[in-house]
Structure 1
């Protein structure tokens, strides 16, 4: 090995080592800042971020939140459905609503497994079970709907059903990306345009490169399952969603196998349409769609 090559190798090792040190420091700062701003309760969950369980009538609905978020984003819809007689369950997915360390330790299999367990639990008790999914929760809802026991009705709210070319490239390179970045922040103003709703958010607002790869796994599973969906499906997207372009929304909707499906758009919200400026309209659509396709007394 020449002196020049040796110097290059030594310099590369030093650069990687320094990047690793900086990454660990940045990770520690981000995780500490989250714990300081959002201290957990005795159960290890941030107050207000826990699961929602509302007992009602014979019809049941499962609400699934998005990546890095909590059931708080679906509380308005949960209360509205319960007010019309539904039994409501909105589980807190593993790693969510706790600490960034807990989030870092979770993965796609844990998220989808917890959602499936919640769905199967409802199906054991209730003859009619509907599913509502937001963002990543929409992708998981598609997987549940493609199973042996489809829901009576399905609502997908800003569902994440496709990872584009750039996203696939970055998530494929996550081990290299992780050498420099521990946590990648999102843009809260683009996710939720309403400043009041944004201030109430309990979402992490950060994701690690590996977690983004896990999110891609969930989306890829949903894409593969889309053609097997048979439940009557309402899909709602925002025209101003910085994460899901209108073209991606149309492609995802077209892949759904439901014979009865409807696509609607909201005009004023970011990605988290359940709490943003169109939340009231979104809630009405959810309640009306599920009521129309899940009658209180199922046909004999």
Structure 2
């Protein structure tokens, strides 16, 4: 049996990667995206945990899949890409896919463009209908400063593990990602030791690539890499 571990992003939840998870389940794989500690949709939840809790939960899931499956693929999104990189450096991962992975974070130029667009929408009275803005707004409202500091600490501690990755790796990034800069994907691609590695930028995509028109292409790309 093939297993696939999906690690979701910061202040996220498994349902954010459901499009990918459901697509892979159709292959009759054992697919698991654990809810990282504190990521229960409340501000208080994130106040009570450290980044070590997030990594530990992912490691437990990794070990469980390895015990039950002949091969284990790993997909990491955003912060989950940092954790997935750590797992791939430590465990026998068959193949690794990193999507919008935040080994570096905040693309200020793109973020300012996004904010300018939201300001214009606000003036027009259209902001309430902007699903992406409302999505990010909900995230920020439940984000305590302590959790942000844990995220920063985790990235600093785990980034060096990228240099130890030898598994075949697909690195995917959106050109219009305001949360993760292009240099993050480039850093991963340049530093992993994998003999088989690919880097692809979706020219129009933002952080959540599968929320846009590129969803089908993204899923096809993952399929092609895993086979």
**TM-score with structure 2 setting the length:** 0.83
Quick check: 1:163–1:219 contact (8 Å CA) kept in 2?
no
Question: Is residue 63 from structure 1 mapped to residue 6 from structure 2 by the alignment?
Answer: yes
Change (3 A) 1:253 1:195: farther
1:205 to 140, 147, 153: 140
Measure, in 2, the Cα distance between the counterparts of 1:104 and 1:280: 36
Unaligned runs of 5+ in 2: 109-114, 119-128
1:261 aligns with 2:197: yes
Pairwise CA RMSD: 2.6
User: What are the equivalent positions in structure 2 for 1:106-255 lying under 5 Å apart?
Assistant: 106-147=49-90, 149-162=91-104, 195-196=130-131, 204-206=139-141, 207-255=143-191
Rg (Cα) greater in structure = 1
Cα 1:94–1:258 change in 2 (3 A) is same
1:25-44 equivalence runs, <5 A: none
* Aligned equivalent of 1:174: none
Deviations 1:173-208 (A, max 9, x none): xxxxxxxxxxxxxx7x89xxx945666789633433
Is 2:221 aligned against 1:278? no
The structure where helix makes up a greater share of residues is 2
Q: 1:88 aligns with which of 25, 28, 31?
A: 31
Instruction: Give the C-alpha shift of residue 242 in structure 1.
Output: 1.2
Q: What is the deviation of 1:116? A: 0.6
Structure 2 match to 1:74: 17
Task: Give per-residue Cα distances to partners, 1:139-183, cap 9 Å, x unaligned.
Answer: 000000001x3211000000011258x9xxxxxxxxxxxxxxxxx
Cα drift, residue 253 of structure 1: 2.2
Decide whether the 8 Å contact of 2:7 with 2:34 is kept in 1.
yes
- Structure 2 residue aligned with 1:98: 41
Q: Compared with structure 1, are the counterparts of its residues 202 and 285 closer, same or farther at alpha carbon in structure 2 (3 Å cutoff)?
A: farther
Deviations 1:60-119 (A, max 9, x none): 100110000111121111111111221110111111133111112122001011011011
TM value normalised by structure 1: 0.64
Compared CA separation, residues 276 and 222, structure 1 to 2 (3 A) = farther
